[in-house]
Amino acid sequence: MTKNIVVIGSTNVDKVLNVERYAQPGETLSVDAPQGVKGGGKGANQAIAAARSGAQTTFISKLGTEGNADFMVEGFKEDGINTDSLIWTDKYETGQAYITVEASGQNTIYVYGGANMAMTPADVDQLGEVIGQADTIIAQLEIPTDTIIEAFRIAREHGVKTILNPAPAKQLPEQLIVLTDIIVPNETEAALLSGIEVTDEQSLMDNAHYFFDKGIQSVIITLGDKGSFYASADDHGIVKPQKVTNVVDTTAAGDTFIGALSTRLADDLSNLTTAMAYASKASALTIQTQGAQNSIPTTAQIEAVYGEMN
């Protein structure tokens, strides 16, 4: 059955530089030709990942009317994303991200929130019917927290599953935690939230119990090339990663994982490890291509490499 996914979050215009290595403080380095302007934002990335994995996807985001994001909106439409719930403002520019990608594939990102940070609970209230009809809603922390709380409140009232990607990591208010069904940080974000460094499976369980004690019932922690960890009240484990020998750019790996995951999860999470394995395959393809949104694979591309999946 095709999933109805709503993603609420950020849209950024990415400005990307490729470098051999990062400059030291006070050092000047020359760079090759920049990649130029590309589409980004964690919300946009996750919406594209969900759409390319076959979900009926609606994206809720706030954009500036200055035109910087027009090419992205056209791209959303080409991917089949419902753009009717995009919100426009002439008071702020569309969000922007400045990304430096090292030769190893690692990256650093500096974000200007712009219109993303101007999205309000009142904006969300006008889209209550859209949220209420979804199977799952996904949010990140590149929009105001009170806006996410309002979206998750509406979702909870309608029995819609909520997935929170706490990135960039910051302390979460109780009102948001109690409305979150599944939390999906990476290992760094988990440690920043819990204060427990991830070093082994026991420390992963300690992190999970931190979130359980806060009221979240399901925890997934992505571990990069070590796979992904999951824990619920009655089960836990690690889903092994796909082996990748030619890592090019990790920019959208986590977003791809979350968007792809949401399209395969059963309502009762009974197929959690299968859904995580699918998401891992999607991420493995993402990191082998330069760029963010252009690197996010479709189901057909995933199955061409790894075989047909349920």
pLDDT tens-digit profile of 61-119? 999 999 999 999 999 999 999 999 999 999 999 999 888 888 887 878 888 899 999 99
Whichever domain contains 88, its CATH number is 3.40.1190.20
Helices (H), the chain: 42-52, 70-78, 121-125, 128-132, 145-157, 174-177, 187-194, 201-214, 253-264, 272-286, 299-306
For residues 45 and 69, the answer to whether their CB atoms sit within 8 Å is no
254 is in an annotated binding site: yes
Mean predicted confidence (pLDDT) in 248-269: 92
Mean predicted confidence (pLDDT) in 16-23: 86
Q: Is residue 14 part of a domain?
A: no
Contacts of 277 (CB under 8 A, 6+ apart): 239
295 is in an annotated binding site: yes
Sort 35 into a burial class: Cβ within 10 Å, 0-12 / 13-18 / 19+: middle
170 is in an annotated binding site: no
- Is the per-residue pLDDT at 33 higher than 70? no
Q: Is residue 101 part of a domain?
A: no
Q: Is residue 17 part of a domain?
A: no
- Is the per-residue pLDDT at 183 higher than 80? yes
44 is in an annotated binding site: yes
255 is in an annotated binding site: yes
Question: Over the stretch 216-230, which tens digit does the pLDDT of each residue have?
Answer: 999 999 999 899 999
Q: Is residue 103 part of a domain?
A: no
In angstroms, rounded to a whole number, what is the distance separating the alpha carbons of residues 165 and 175?
A: 16
By residue range, what is the domain housing residue 77? 4-8+42-93+119-306
Which residue in the list 79, 123, 181, 255 is annotated as catalytic? 255
- Is 255 catalytic? The answer is yes
Q: Report the number of distinct structural domains present in the chain.
A: 1
Q: Is residue 143 part of a domain?
A: yes
Question: Over the stretch 204-214, which tens digit does the pLDDT of each residue have?
Answer: 999 999 999 99
Q: Is residue 262 part of a domain?
A: yes
